Structure 1
Amino acid sequence: MTGDTPRIALPPRSVESRLIVVARAKRAEDYDAVLEVLVDAGIRSVELTLTTPGTFDHFPRLLAQFGEVADLGIGTVTSSADLGRAVDVGAHYLVTPITSTAFVQQATDAGVPIVPGGLTPTELFASWSAGASAVKIFPAGQVGPAYLKDLRGPFPDLVAMPSGGVDLAGASAWLAAGAVAVSVGGPLLGDAFSGGDLTALHDRAQAFVEVCAR
């Protein structure tokens, strides 16, 4: 990457908390109660996924309710049109599971942080050198924290976060390996979107918050 390549920093709250919760619901209306619990437990960054029907339409309401205390990003962005719409509804950051330098350029031009996914050194470096805010090691469960340590050899400045299969112990290990944050879904959310105990969700969220704050 050349010194004049623009790069937009990740939102400060996401970086300070070192934890992003990936929320996949059956429908967008299910976000409300879960986000209320997450925010109350200290979660300060939530990625709302486009695999949840109605995310775009419901996003402004969530932003109005939670946007002052937590970063709300839009994830599973897989098209230029969806990226543009995510920018238009006010996403604090964007996440895509794929490597696309075109997406990085589009998000950077719009002034919104973007975290593209990738697994191989070639994929991760392509996004990083194009100006990504950070890169998402995905699926992280297939490699493990030692992989990030290996990447630090050729890419010492790489800002990376793991996503996919990161549990409580894994969160601690990835952060110790140098991840800027961890992206966590199922191990934290559990059955919260299918009628699960929200008190238990609160406890799990607090446990992750405490581990990531160390």
Structure 2
Amino acid sequence: MTGELPLRTLSSKLVVVARASAAADYGAVLDALAEGGIRSVEVTLTTPGTFDAFASLRAAFGDTLDLGIGTVTTLGQLERAIEVGADYVVTPITSSALVERAVDAGIPIIPGGLTPTELFASWSAGASAVKVFPAGQVGPGYLKDLRGPFPDIAVVPSGGVDADSAAAWLAAGAVAVSVGGPLLGDAFRGGDLGALRDRAERFVAVCAGSERPEGQSA
């Protein structure tokens, strides 16, 4: 096994997926996220320059954030993520080769999948958690169904997770939620970073269980 996810990620139960047009855009957004209480950010390889920028991101945010590298789909990308010091890696696919290499390297990995066969294949191979993707297509009740045959499986839903569904997934037993657009909004397109901090604070509160999603009463 690769072991558990990093402590800040597990404690906060929230991973923010930062998908920018260019790596130069990461800094200001990650700064606002950190100020809003976010403690785990996945920067993605669909953003040009992510590997080259990673050392400077670690220097700037490593004391505050767990920094993962996402959209890893090849062994070459995984090796580079290990080399630059990612705290964890995320892949949208089910790949035994990626999981086995991550296990060998001792780096936490969260592979994606949707079907029970895909998710269990990664979990049984040693993944630290499995990413139900796209989570919006199944909903939190799916985790209850998975827990029938796989009672110990660690699930991180991703794709279409907003504050309402984040609370529901966590109540269903997810170890964390992976959130992108519903939190980031237009932040990477010149949006108000103060508003981003406010959204981050709300998601942090929801995931900590200290705030109920809109529309829910006690």
Q: Does 1:152 align with 2:140?
A: no
**Residue aligned with 1:196, SS:** coil
Out of 127, 136, 151, the residue aligned to residue 141 of structure 1 is 136
Q: 1: distance between equivalents of 2:158 and 2:142?
A: 13
State the AA in 1 paired with 2:72. Answer: V
Shift of 1:190: 0.2
Superposition deviation, residue 68 in structure 1: 1.0
1:103-149 Cα distance to aligned partner (Å, 9 max, x none): 01101111110000000000000000000000000000100000001
Q: Distance in 2 between matches of 1:65 and 1:111?
A: 24
Alignment partner, residue 54 of structure 2 = 59
For the residue of structure 2 that corresponds to 1:206, the secondary structure is helix
| Contact 2:2–2:102 (CA under 8 A) maintained in structure 1 | no
State the SS of the aligned residue for 2:63: coil
Unpaired segments ≥5 residues, structure 2 = 210-218
The residue that corresponds to 1:3 in the other structure is none
> What amino acid is the match of 2:85?
G
**In 2, Cα distance between equivalents of 1:166 and 1:41:** 18
Partner of 2:179: 184
SS of 1:164's equivalent in the other structure is coil
Q: Give the distance between the partners of 2:21 and 2:65, measured in 1 at CA.
A: 22
| One-letter identity of the residue aligned with 2:146 | L
Pick from 15, 19, 23 the counterpart of residue 28 of structure 1: 23
SS in 1 for 2:112: strand
- Secondary structure of the equivalent of 1:10? coil
Residue 195 of structure 1 aligns to which amino acid in structure 2?
G
Runs of 4+ displaced beyond 3 Å = none
TM-score by length of 2: 0.95
Q: Equivalent residue of 2:15, what SS?
A: strand
Q: Structure 1, residues 40-80: CA drift from partner, whole Å, max 9, x if none? A: 11000000000000000000000011011110000000100
Determine the C-alpha separation between the residues in 2 that align with 1:186 and 1:31.
Answer: 15
CA distance in 2, matches of 1:34, 1:161: 23
2:123 aligned partner: 128
Number of residues of Structure 1 aligned to a counterpart in Structure 2: 209
Matched, 1:38 2:33: yes
Residue 107 (str. 1) matches residue 102 (str. 2): yes
**In structure 1, distance between residues paired with 2:104 and 2:111:** 15
Structure 2 match to 1:199: 194
Contact 2:134 2:159 in 1 (8 A): yes
Matched position secondary structure for 2:20: coil
SS in 2 for 1:73: strand
Percent identity, please. Answer: 71
Task: Check the 8 A contact 2:95/2:122 in 1, yes or no.
Answer: yes
Measure, in 1, the Cα distance between the counterparts of 2:195 and 2:37.
14
Paired residue type of 1:93: Y
Residues 176-201 of structure 1 show CA distances to partners (whole Å, capped at 9, x for unaligned) of: 00000000000000000000011110
Structure 2 distance, partners of 1:48, 1:178, is: 25
TM-score by length of 1: 0.97
